Amino acid sequence: MIILRHSEEVPAELRQGVVAIGNFDGVHRGHQAVLSTALALARAEDRPMGALTFEPHPRSVFQPELAPFRLTPFPIKARLIAELGADFLFTQAFDLTFAATTAEDFIQNTLIRTLDVHHIVIGHDYAFGKGRTGTPLSLRRAGAAQGFGVTELAAVTARSGVILSSTAARDAIREGRMADAQAILGRPWSIEGTVEHGEARGRSIGFPTANVPLTDTLRPRAGVYAVKVRIDDDDTIYHGVANCGRRPTFDGKGTVLEVHLFDFAESLYDRRLHVAFARFLRDERKFDGLDALKRQIVDDAQAARRYLQETA
């Protein structure tokens, strides 16, 4: 998949394509429906298929004071979109200047002049332009006048009737409902990062941990999780237990993700971990000393092993 920035010219071979439009944070099952529909339309007419997204996420521009909330930082989002078959990903830089673009200018400048779209695919709640005045109806009217087609998909819902959305996924993760998050996303929610050097406290009590930095990623419910981990680009799955929180038994400063892999003795420093959250085990809490903490970690590891073996 080719990644194009807003300032780059779209090559001729990628013009007149079918383009899915959205923020696509989480690339959840609703997003997957939009992207898959665009791919099917493109392949039926032997056209390129692309996705148009916005970076950074508009919410971080309008509300910079918000705590980290992204389900999928850009590298993860791009990889997931590529895995769904997109030929290219066009990232529109989003800032306050772009936010002032009218719906009409977005259609003329981005969709027609820059991307030269043949057809676009959007979700049921897509709105665009200054004040979110652009609607699916205005897109269809513009398409009829300018010569591009528009497909609007209905909301994708769970069996319960709940609409599958990024907001619903965030709520589930913040509450530790990892099975519900997986049902929305179509895969376990995960965090990726390069292992940093820590204070080696886990090693001193027999449970070495890999410290994975948290950047603009959503913070899950603070506590202990059963996790499945991939290292670098290897497809091998390792089982483990992780704590995501402030480590109240120690300094309690800053949120960190500490991962312990079962039956693994290699160094993980400077290696990239893909940590999939399988199940929430317990809330984070402060212990009266290292012995109490170690006993609890033993119990946590046993609980994680048991769950991961039963669901393998």
Q: What DSSP string describes 231-298? A: ETT----EEEEEEEE--TTTT--S-EEEEEETT--S--TT-EEEEEEEEEEEE----SSHHHHHHHHH
What confidence score (pLDDT) does residue 123 get?
94
Burial of residue 132, with CB atoms counted within 10 A of its CB: 0-12 exposed, 13-18 middle, 19 or more buried: exposed
Q: Confirm if 209 and 259 have CB atoms less than 8 A apart.
A: yes
Q: How many helices (H) and strands (E) does the chain have?
A: 10, 12
- Listed as ranges, residues in the chain with pLDDT below 50 are 249-250
Residue 80's closest CA among 168, 192, 157? Answer: 192
Which long-range contacts (C-beta less than 8 Å, at least 24 apart) are formed by 4-12? 4/88, 4/89, 4/90, 4/91, 5/91, 5/93, 6/90, 6/91, 6/92, 6/93, 6/114, 7/93, 10/88, 10/90, 10/114, 10/115, 10/116
Q: Confirm if 149 and 118 have CB atoms less than 8 A apart.
A: yes
217: CB partners within 8 A, 6+ apart: 68, 70, 71, 73, 191
What confidence score (pLDDT) does residue 206 get?
66
Q: Confirm if 172 and 181 have CB atoms less than 8 A apart.
A: yes
What confidence score (pLDDT) does residue 255 get?
80
Q: What confidence tens digit (pLDDT) does each residue in 190-242 have? A: 999 999 886 656 555 567 889 998 888 999 999 999 999 999 989 999 999 99
- Domains plus CATH for the chain? 2-152 (3.40.50.620), 188-310 (2.40.30.30)
What confidence score (pLDDT) does residue 203 get?
57
Strand partners, 243: 224, 258
What confidence score (pLDDT) does residue 249 get?
46
What confidence score (pLDDT) does residue 66 get?
86
Q: Confirm if 272 and 193 have CB atoms less than 8 A apart.
A: yes
What confidence score (pLDDT) does residue 251 get?
58
Separation CA 309–CA 133 (nearest Å): 51
Separation CA 230–CA 33 (nearest Å): 27
What percent of the chain clears pLDDT 70, i.e. is strictly above it?
Answer: 94
Separation CA 155–CA 252 (nearest Å): 42
